[in-house]
């Protein structure tokens, strides 16, 4: 089976490491691209020219975006707006993956058409389990007939 | 002592600012000898005195200064005192500034009522009795100084409130992150390198994990406390029984582990905040399970009875109880009555309960017999039928 293509947008190296570890053992197998903030993600998605898209052919469109909120340069909400207003990308499910439990963050992300909002669990095992559940659900959903 | 310095600093700064800005008095009279005489009477007051010999001159001073009080002669050529007062009050800085009319003529009531209609606070007649004038002006000056002090305190307060809000934001977004990482990677280390570590290493790793967990709990409790009052409270019909069931299932491990017995009657639906009910049951049930000495299984009874315009809820336990002398401390933030080795906690839970329930129009209190148990009560307003009203 082809790997499930995920774009992780996350500035914290610790979270990148945790996510990579978790997805190594995920079912189905995943291929992970990493952007460290919203600007890098725009470049990887081909919305902006820049170092992250240089010298590569038209980048593969991910099947799922895992998106942190609090990031330098361009935060998760701004990136979410950019993705949802692009006709080529707006069908991609975006799962917010953040440590913020603030009701206003949750509301604002759903208003911007996030598919799901997951608060990063404090416990390491639950963190991995949450990512497994997300991948399992959205990869199944992506195989459903339109 | 850093703390003492910090605490006294704002006060010292405040009084300096007020001492520097002496209140200003404006005297308006077309006769110079009257101005000098009045100035002499008021000289001993802690204020700067400005003199104007016409309505026009007074108006131009009002544009440049904020006055605490104006003494205005009624009989003046060109522009009389009443006209001057009306024009003065068009100026923004004159809003609320007391005006005292001073006049030699007519003691008729109609002048006094005209003056009152314009917004004069007082009306005095020549020849002026210096003692009366002085004491009247002093009253208004004192009022002015007090008002300035209150405004200054308000500004300081709202600034520290904003700082507190920023602090809560930093807690949520910046402090949780590193603690979560510490916990996650210390956890990974203990899973993957358990065998390669010696006994000391494993002990240190457990210290890291324990403390990361405690810090996470403190941060999330502080966040909950600071959110109460900052975020809008959403009122809805809350099925208290359903929320109690949810909370009990969250405590399932602790309940089974301690063979606790939980007894409760059907609970009412109340027009209130569901977050409030959740916070109350979480803390009260959690405390009832926690503050036990282990000699007998916990028994917790939850009930609600109507009492006048209120519902009165109670959570009774058979735990260690609370000494009467702790009555006031128990609802104060960060107050803990026990060593963390005996009963862990952050000292934030009950203060959050009280802050939240008071905002919702209720109260919380307890009765207790040390060694036998405690009963916590809280009240909530009954608002039956309220939801049918068009608001």
Average pLDDT over residues B280-289: 93
Domain count, chain A: 1
Helix H or strand E encompassing B306: strand B299-307
Q: Is residue B224 predicted with pLDDT exceeding 70?
A: yes
Residue pair B233/B360 in contact (Cβ under 8 Å)? The answer is: yes
Q: Is residue B106 predicted with pLDDT exceeding 80?
A: no
Which residues does A contribute to its contact with B (CB < 8 Å)? 12, 14-15, 18, 21, 70, 99-104, 120, 122-125, 127
Scanning every residue of chain A, which has its alpha carbon at the shortest distance from the alpha carbon of B171? A100
Residue pair A120/A97 in contact (Cβ under 8 Å)? The answer is: yes
Chain A contact present for B233, CB below 8 A: no
List, for residues A101-126, the tens digit of each pLDDT value.
Answer: 888 899 999 999 999 999 999 888 89
List, for residues B150-186, the tens digit of each pLDDT value.
Answer: 999 999 998 888 787 777 767 766 788 889 999 999 9
Scanning every residue of chain B, which has its alpha carbon at the shortest distance from the alpha carbon of A126? B184
Average pLDDT over residues B102-117: 71
List, for residues B243-258, the tens digit of each pLDDT value.
Answer: 999 999 999 999 999 9
For residue B184, give the nearest of A18, A101, A103 by CB distance. A18
pLDDT at B388: 39
List, for residues B31-63, the tens digit of each pLDDT value.
Answer: 899 899 999 999 999 899 999 999 999 999 999
Å between B344 CA and nearest CA of chain A: 19
- A47 Cβ contact partners less than 8 Å away, ≥ 6 residues apart: A82, A86, A89
Chain A contact present for B165, CB below 8 A: no
pLDDT at B390: 36
Q: Is residue B18 predicted with pLDDT exceeding 60?
A: no
Taking CA atoms, B204 is separated from A17, B211, B284, B345, in Å, by 23, 11, 34, 22
pLDDT at B70: 93
Q: Confidence class of residue B10 from pLDDT cuts 50, 70 and 90? A: very low
Q: Mean pLDDT lowest for which of A42-51, A90-99, B58-67?
A: A42-51
Exposure of B140 in the CB half-sphere (CA atoms within 13 A) = 24
List, for residues B329-353, the tens digit of each pLDDT value.
Answer: 888 877 777 877 778 788 888 888 9
Query: Which residue range forms the structural domain that includes residue A132?
Result: 4-143
pLDDT at B5: 36
pLDDT at A136: 93
pLDDT at B264: 92
* Among B262, B268, B238, B236, CA closest to B249: B262
Q: What is the complex's ipTM, to 2 decimals?
A: 0.75
Interface test mutation site (partner A, options B165, B166, B184, max chain A beta carbons within 10 A): B184
Interface test mutation site (partner A, options B172, B174, B177, max chain A beta carbons within 10 A): B177
Put simply, the answer to whether B177 touches A12 (Cβ < 8 Å) is: yes
DSSP 8-state code for residue A123: S
Scanning every residue of chain B, which has its alpha carbon at the shortest distance from the alpha carbon of A102? B172
pLDDT at B323: 87
Q: Mean pLDDT lowest for which of B1-5, B53-57, B298-302, B379-383?
A: B1-5
Taking CA atoms, B129 is separated from B102, B124, B257, in Å, by 12, 9, 85
Q: Rounded CA gap, B154 and B159, in Å?
A: 8
Exposure of B184 in the CB half-sphere (CA atoms within 13 A) = 24
Write the CATH number for A131. Answer: 3.40.50.2300
Q: Mean pLDDT lowest for which of A16-20, A70-74, B114-118, B192-196?
A: B114-118
Q: Is residue A97 predicted with pLDDT exceeding 90?
A: yes
For residue A122, give the nearest of B172, B180, B223 by CB distance. B180
Q: Confidence class of residue B97 from pLDDT cuts 50, 70 and 90? A: confident
Q: Rounded CA gap, A102 and B138, in Å?
A: 52
Put simply, the answer to whether B184 touches A127 (Cβ < 8 Å) is: yes
DSSP 8-state code for residue B390: -
Q: Is residue B383 predicted with pLDDT exceeding 90?
A: no
- The dihedral over CA atoms of A28, A29, A33, A37, expressed in degrees to the nearest 10, equals 50
pLDDT at B19: 47
Q: Mean pLDDT lowest for which of B4-13, B117-126, B318-327?
A: B4-13
pLDDT at B263: 93
Q: Is residue B16 predicted with pLDDT exceeding 60?
A: no
Q: Which residues are B313's β-sheet partners?
A: B304, B378
Scanning every residue of chain A, which has its alpha carbon at the shortest distance from the alpha carbon of B213? A122
Chain A contact present for B181, CB below 8 A: yes
Q: Is residue A58 predicted with pLDDT exceeding 70?
A: no
pLDDT at B336: 78
Strand arrangement of the beta sheet that strand B373-381 belongs to: B261-264, B299-307, B310-316, B373-381, B364-369
> pTM for the full model?
0.59
pLDDT at B109: 66
Q: Which token pair is B187?
A: 């956890």
Q: Confidence class of residue B192 from pLDDT cuts 50, 70 and 90? A: confident
Q: Is residue A38 predicted with pLDDT exceeding 90?
A: yes
Average pLDDT over residues B96-100: 87
Put simply, the answer to whether B180 touches A101 (Cβ < 8 Å) is: no
List, for residues B253-278, the tens digit of each pLDDT value.
Answer: 999 999 999 999 899 999 988 888 99
Average pLDDT over residues A11-39: 92
Cβ neighbours of A108 in B, within 8 Å = none
List, for residues A67-82, the tens digit of each pLDDT value.
Answer: 999 888 899 999 999 9
Put simply, the answer to whether A14 touches B216 (Cβ < 8 Å) is: no
Q: Confidence class of residue A146 from pLDDT cuts 50, 70 and 90? A: low
pLDDT at B14: 41
Mean pLDDT of chain A, nearest integer: 89
């Amino acid at each position: 089976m082809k790997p499930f293509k995920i774009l992780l947008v996350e500035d914290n190296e610790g979270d990148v490491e945790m996510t990579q570890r978790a997805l190594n053992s995920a079912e189905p197998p995943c291929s992970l691209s990493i952007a460290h903030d919203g600007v890098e993600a725009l470049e990887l998605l081909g919305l902006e020219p820049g170092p992250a898209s240089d010298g590569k052919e038209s980048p593969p469109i991910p099947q799922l975006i895992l998106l942190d909120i609090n990031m330098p340069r361009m935060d998760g909400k701004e990136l979410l707006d950019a993705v949802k207003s692009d006709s080529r990308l707006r069908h991609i499910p975006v799962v917010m993956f953040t440590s913020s439990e603030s009701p206003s963050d949750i509301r604002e992300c759903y208003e911007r058409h996030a598919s799901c909002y997951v608060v990063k669990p404090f416990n390491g095992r639950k963190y991995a389990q949450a990512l497994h559940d997300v991948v399992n659900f959205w990869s199944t959903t992506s195989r459903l007939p339109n | 002592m850093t703390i003492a310095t910090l605490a006294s600093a704002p006060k010292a700064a405040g009084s300096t600012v007020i001492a520097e800005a002496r209140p200003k008095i404006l005297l308006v009279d077309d006769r110079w000898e009257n101005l000098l005489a009045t100035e002499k009477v008021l000289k001993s007051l802690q204020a700067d005195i400005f003199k104007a010999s016409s309505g026009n001159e007074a108006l131009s001073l009002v544009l440049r200064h904020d006055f605490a009080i104006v003494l205005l002669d009624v009989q003046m050529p060109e522009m009389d005192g009443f006209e001057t007062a009306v024009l003065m009050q068009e100026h923004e800085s004159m809003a609320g500034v007391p005006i005292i009319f001073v006049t030699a003529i007519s003691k008729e009531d109609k002048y006094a009522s005209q003056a009152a209609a314009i917004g004069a606070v007082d009306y005095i007649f020549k020849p002026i009795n210096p003692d009366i004038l002085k004491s009247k002006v002093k009253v208004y000056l004192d009022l002015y100084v007090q008002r300035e002090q209150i405004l200054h305190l308000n500004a300081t307060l709202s600034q520290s409130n904003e700082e507190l809000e920023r602090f809560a934001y930093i807690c949520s977004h910046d402090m949780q992150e590193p603690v979560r990482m510490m916990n996650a990677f210390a956890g990974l280390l203990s899973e993957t390198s358990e065998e390669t570590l010696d006994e000391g290493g494993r002990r240190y790793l457990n210290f890291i994990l324990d403390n990361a967990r405690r810090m996470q709990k403190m941060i999330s409790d502080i966040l909950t406390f600071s959110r109460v009052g900052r975020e809008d409270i959403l009122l809805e019909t809350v099925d208290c029984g359903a929320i109690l069931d949810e909370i009990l299932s969250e405590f399932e491990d602790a309940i089974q582990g301690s063979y606790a017995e939980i007894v409760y009657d059907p609970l009412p639906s109340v027009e209130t905040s569901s977050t409030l009910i959740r916070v109350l049951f979480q803390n009260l049930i959690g405390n009832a399970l926690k503050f036990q000495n282990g000699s007998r299984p916990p028994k917790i009874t939850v009930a609600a009875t109507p009492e006048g315009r209120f519902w009165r809820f109670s959570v009774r336990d058979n735990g260690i109880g609370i000494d009467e002398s702790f009555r006031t401390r128990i609802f104060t933030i960060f107050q803990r009555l026990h060593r963390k080795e005996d009963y862990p906690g952050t000292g934030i839970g009950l203060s959050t309960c009280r802050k939240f329930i008071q905002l919702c129009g209720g109260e919380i209190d307890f009765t207790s017999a040390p060694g036998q148990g405690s009963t916590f009560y809280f009240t909530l307003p009954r608002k039956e039928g309220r939801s049918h009203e068009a608001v």
